[in-house]
Structure 1
């Protein structure tokens, strides 16, 4: 399959202005093809026919000897979206060709984007001719509903588009939502009716995260602790002004410590740290949230103190900051912070190991037994 290369035809002297333009003149260079001076090439991008007229043939010094490119001029103006779609089509064609007639599995997840549109991502997992397991994204489909029937229809549409047979489907992986893994009407069940060999597997790391969250919620003090942590992160990161203040506190500390030779300088050292929010379905999110809070705990105290003294803030915000400042200074909060960081650190190692591409089930179960000890 020929590769597509894109170059910008500039009729202006100012290249920056051309980059900022809403549309571009594009040259499509097709490798391995030869066109006569009088010939024309018709190329379809996203349903739009482009009449490309070849003007001259020039050698390419950076390619293999004898390879020539046809410089195609006088193109219609293409938008950035056309270029992206063309690249996506070529990329997916390579993926489908790599899959060939082999069996494969699918990984599906759905979520809302920033414009509040429901979208579903579809990933193929397969073993290539070199016996390497690959995971490749083949599409993000807009869906009007998150019901199992709607998701199944979207998957069928993608399979039909790329000539993928559901009879070659051997596995399916989703999250734990009822519309996904429902026993009677879930997406898992609908696919199993058509392909009984498409076994469903709930991600081990996702199960581990859900188990940790469920256990943590059974303990009232720990539940209250994580609620305070969430409130602290939301309060400090509520505005760009507070985030900038947090960065300034870190920078002042690093500069002063470097001057006193209290810390080492070097590549990758003394990086800026931000507070990370936790989520029930994001792997290791609780652990990462606690680690980030511990790393800049003193700076968080300073920012909360500034909010308390800031008369421009509303009384409610100043009151919330005062309460949070008192809570996180208590012994039970700092004790729970260190305790949960250590406990979640153990499971975090297991979580990272389960995400490795070269991990096998036997080794994974051994790691689970080690964590239980």
Structure 2
């Protein structure tokens, strides 16, 4: 793998530097990400300074994924899988059809149990939205659609695990294991709340015709709402996550026990902090602070 660094120097000129070739044993996204980080660190470059490049007229911007990146850097791989899982589920027309069929079956089941309201325009069969590369608002839509089609998504992943081959089967197995964990559900709900608060501001900042006074007002309001979420939102979020886990038969850890990183044979203690401390301060607060 070759890494090329493109940057603007102090005189305003675009420069390019070709790094040494990096030998990689695996080509999955997580392995490549680790190789890139190692390469940057070797050249004393901070990954936090990377900006995304917009190719459709959008300016270079950090974007809403900063919160996801913060979670990833705090040793929470599920943030990365929020995007990775979406790509697995809708990467082919066949899986897309399986997703919609599974979603239809779930809707029919909930209606039969009288747990879902019926009416014109309700319970339409949709799909999981793929997050755009440069548009902030699209990430919120992607996460919301994943939440709404959670059961159907799990069903598709189980099908890939049973009938898939090679790398795809392994990726689906890993994705399903992560997706059915308490930590993943917590991250998913956390990011939806954060992006929901910042969505109006993000949309305003992308308009070509800027209303500076309105933007300043939105910045102020967004900061207030984000701070309120940090100060008062944890208990409400936790109750939402617990209810979701209960409805989907996801194991909930004892909040007073020491936090254990990983699942199955990969379980290991982390800094001897409680689950409550880790989930609230190292995940929830860390994402908001970012």
Mapped contact 1:222–1:336 kept (Cα < 8 A):
no
| Residue matched to 2:117 | 264
Cα RMSD for the two superposed structures: 3.3
TM-superposition CA deviations, 1:9-42 (whole Å, max 9, x none): xxxxxxxxxxxxxxxxxxxxxxxxxxxxxxxxxx
| Residue matched to 1:234 | 87
C-alpha distance in 2 between matches for 1:360 and 1:217: 30
How many residues were matched structurally?
176
| Residue matched to 2:200 | 349
C-alpha distance in 2 between matches for 1:271 and 1:351: 28
Deviation, 1:358, is 8.7
Structure whose residues are more often strand by fraction:
1
| Residue matched to 2:191 | 340
Deviation, 1:307, is 1.4
C-alpha distance in 1 between matches for 2:220 and 2:60: 13
Larger RCO (CA under 8 A, 6+ residues apart): 2
C-alpha distance in 2 between matches for 1:184 and 1:355: 25
2:65 is equivalent to residue 213 of structure 1: yes
Deviation, 1:340, is 0.9
Name the SS of the counterpart of 1:269 in structure 2: coil
C-alpha distance in 2 between matches for 1:266 and 1:355: 36
Deviation, 1:218, is 4.1
C-alpha distance in 2 between matches for 1:291 and 1:280: 17
Cα 1:265–1:284 change in 2 (3 A) is same
| Residue matched to 2:261 | none
Mapped contact 2:63–2:136 kept (Cα < 8 A):
no
Unaligned runs of 5+ in 1: 1-176, 186-201
Cα 1:304–1:184 change in 2 (3 A) is closer
| Residue matched to 2:128 | 275
| Residue matched to 1:292 | 145
Mapped contact 1:210–1:281 kept (Cα < 8 A):
no
C-alpha distance in 2 between matches for 1:353 and 1:266: 34
2:235 is equivalent to residue 360 of structure 1: no
Mapped contact 2:161–2:173 kept (Cα < 8 A):
yes
Deviation, 1:222, is 7.4
Deviation, 1:244, is 0.7
TM-superposition CA deviations, 1:303-328 (whole Å, max 9, x none): 11111122xx2133222211111111
Mapped contact 2:90–2:96 kept (Cα < 8 A):
yes
Deviation, 1:259, is 4.2
C-alpha distance in 2 between matches for 1:208 and 1:284: 15
| Residue matched to 1:316 | 167
Q: Which aligned pairs between 1:137-176 and structure 2 lie closer than 5 A?
A: none
Mapped contact 2:68–2:191 kept (Cα < 8 A):
no
Cα 1:301–1:315 change in 2 (3 A) is same
Name the SS of the counterpart of 2:62 in structure 1: helix
C-alpha distance in 1 between matches for 2:177 and 2:80: 15
Cα 1:226–1:207 change in 2 (3 A) is farther
Cα 1:291–1:209 change in 2 (3 A) is farther
Which one is further off, 292-301 or 344-353? 344-353
Deviation, 1:224, is 2.9
C-alpha distance in 1 between matches for 2:105 and 2:67: 40
Mapped contact 1:284–1:351 kept (Cα < 8 A):
yes
TM-superposition CA deviations, 1:60-92 (whole Å, max 9, x none): xxxxxxxxxxxxxxxxxxxxxxxxxxxxxxxxx
Mapped contact 1:287–1:341 kept (Cα < 8 A):
yes
Deviation, 1:291, is 0.8
TM-superposition CA deviations, 1:109-154 (whole Å, max 9, x none): xxxxxxxxxxxxxxxxxxxxxxxxxxxxxxxxxxxxxxxxxxxxxx
| Residue matched to 1:244 | 97
Deviation, 1:359, is 6.8
Unaligned runs of 5+ in 2: 1-5, 15-53, 225-290
Q: Which aligned pairs between 1:21-100 and structure 2 lie closer than 5 A?
A: none
Deviation, 1:296, is 0.6
